[in-house]
């Protein structure tokens, strides 16, 4: 038997779940369909910047995030010698009316998922439904799903379909069948989480080194996880590597695969080798993105989040931009109703905005600070950072990214609400 709902959402990641909560907020019926049969807390750490947290605050989700995440206080940059390059306050410490969170991706997803099931009902998220295609007519859409074994499930009828089905999006492939695989950056990422003692402020995000000599990002994502007062520490190592034979986002790796550049990083504020050696499992990912599209929308179907604009994870903006997509789309539906007009308004705004972020993450993300210092210093120690680069130039790199990504403090405070 064919099912029906006003808005069909394919994918129960951050974007799909926040869209469901936002549509419920404005009184629009929707249902989320997720491919996996059992949603589990996978992945590692993630940062939610103030522009995303503003939207989550408007959905009353901040108290729940406080229970599982850490309010970030500052962001710092160091050379691979352990020398401080630049530091700046973050979130509320920087004067934003909204915090910045560091959190486990699984904790974030389950915070959103629990809220959806509580507010929309236990059947609002249907698992084991992988989208395979959509048919459209003048009155709406028919979404076709299969179960984990590939068997056809009853089609779902709706007023519109939102494909929030990730970087391997079936809807994007239907729209752009000749696009090919994601574009490899030349960089490979290793990630892990492990209990570790707090360092520096205990609520910081740090970036160390550069790709050619080893780059590392470290931040805590959960406080007081044991009797010793350890935090759950998230780390991300990035190195230049040849293109892998295949893209796999759930592969385990060995420490020996990447440890060599980091083995002597014994800093007085952080013992990097000890952090890496304590971690099990270690995950490996190719750093990939896709070229920006001219449109995500065809009739009554559109893309959202990683399905629409996969980007390098170098600006802490992937989940944040998906959240902004969801909120802006909900605002369009609130004003224009469920239909093609709302999707066109959403497409016009968010395609342009996210395309700039995708390209900025390729060329000048926040860690461009470390690139400039490494190249200008030749990778050598310096007596003072001003001998290499001015503080004003460092601030400019950071502020330019904030403006493009939508979390410049003055612009964000002045921006009207999306919903």
SS3 assignment for 148-216: CCCCECCCEEEEEEEECCCCCCHHHHHHCCCCCCCEEEEEEEEEEEEEECCCCCCCEEEEEEECCCEEE
pLDDT digits (tens, 9 = 90+) for 322-375: 999 999 999 999 999 999 999 999 999 999 999 999 999 999 999 999 999 999
Nearest partner of 203 among 111, 313, 69, 77, judged by Cα: 69
Nearest partner of 3 among 118, 155, 150, judged by Cα: 155
Mark the ranges of the chain whose per-residue pLDDT is less than 70: 1-2, 249
Question: Distance between CA atoms of 49 and 36, rounded to whole angstroms?
Answer: 28
Secondary structure of residue 56 in the 3-state scheme: helix
Flag whether the pTM goes above 0.95: yes
Question: Distance between CA atoms of 166 and 175, rounded to whole angstroms?
Answer: 14
Strand partners, 291: none
Question: E strands of 22-100, at which residues?
Answer: 30-33, 45-48, 70-71, 74-78, 84-89
Give residues with Cβ within 8 angstroms of 240, minimum separation 6.
186, 187, 188, 211, 212
Cβ count within 10 A of residue 376: 12
The predicted structure's pLDDT at residue 2: 64
Identify whether the C-beta of residue 208 lies closer than 8 Å to the C-beta of residue 79.
yes
Identify whether the C-beta of residue 218 lies closer than 8 Å to the C-beta of residue 234.
yes
- Mean pLDDT value across the chain: 97
Cβ count within 10 A of residue 177: 8
The predicted structure's pLDDT at residue 1: 55
The predicted structure's pLDDT at residue 365: 94
List the domains of the chain with CATH numbers: 3-42+57-69+102-181+293-362 (3.50.50.60)
Strand partners, 221: none
Question: Distance between CA atoms of 10 and 17, rounded to whole angstroms?
Answer: 10
């Amino acid at each position: 038997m064919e099912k029906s709902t006003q808005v069909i959402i394919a994918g129960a990641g951050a974007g799909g779940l926040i869209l469901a909560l936002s549509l419920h907020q404005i009184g629009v019926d929707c249902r989320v369909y997720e491919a996996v049969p059992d949603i589990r807390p996978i992945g590692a750490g993630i940062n939610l910047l103030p522009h995303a947290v503003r939207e989550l605050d408007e959905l009353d989700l901040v108290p729940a995030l406080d229970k599982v995440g850490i309010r970030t206080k500052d962001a710092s940059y160091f050379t691979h010698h352990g020398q401080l390059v630049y530091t700046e306050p973050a979130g509320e410490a920087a004067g934003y009316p909204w915090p910045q969170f560091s959190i486990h991706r699984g904790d974030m997803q389950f915070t959103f998922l629990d809220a959806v099931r509580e507010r929309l009902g236990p059947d609002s998220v249907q698992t084991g439904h992988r989208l395979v295609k959509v048919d459209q007519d003048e009155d709406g859409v028919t979404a076709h799903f299969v179960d984990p074994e590939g068997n056809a499930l009853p089609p779902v009828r709706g007023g519109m379909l939102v494909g929030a089905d990730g970087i391997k999006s079936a809807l994007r492939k239907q729209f752009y069948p000749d696009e090919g695989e994601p574009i490899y950056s030349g960089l490979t990422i290793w990630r892990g989480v492990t209990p570790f003692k707090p360092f520096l402020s205990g609520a910081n995000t740090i970036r160390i080194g550069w790709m050619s000599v080893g780059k590392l990002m470290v931040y805590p994502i959960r406080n007081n996880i044991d009797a010793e007062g350890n935090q759950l520490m998230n780390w991300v190592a990035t190195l230049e590597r040849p293109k892998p034979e295949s893209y796999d986002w759930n592969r385990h790796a060995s420490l020996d695969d990447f440890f060599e550049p980091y083995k002597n990083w014994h800093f007085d504020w952080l013992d990097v080798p000890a952090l890496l050696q304590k971690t099990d499992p270690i995950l490996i990912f190719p750093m990939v993105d896709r070229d920006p599209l001219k449109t995500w929308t065809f009739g009554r179907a559109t893309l959202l989040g990683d399905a629409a604009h996969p980007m390098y994870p170098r600006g802490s903006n992937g989940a944040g931009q998906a959240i902004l997509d969801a909120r802006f789309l909900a605002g369009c539906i609130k004003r224009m109703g469920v239909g093609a007009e709302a999707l066109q308004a959403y497409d016009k705004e968010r395609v342009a905005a996210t395309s700039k972020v995708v390209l900025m993450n390729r060329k000048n993300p926040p860690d461009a600070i470390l690139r400039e210092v490494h190249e200008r210093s030749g990778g050598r120690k310096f007596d003072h950072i001003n001998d290499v680069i001015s503080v004003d130039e460092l601030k400019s790199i950071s502020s330019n990214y904030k403006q493009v990504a939508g979390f410049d403090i003055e612009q964000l405070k002045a921006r009207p609400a999306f919903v």
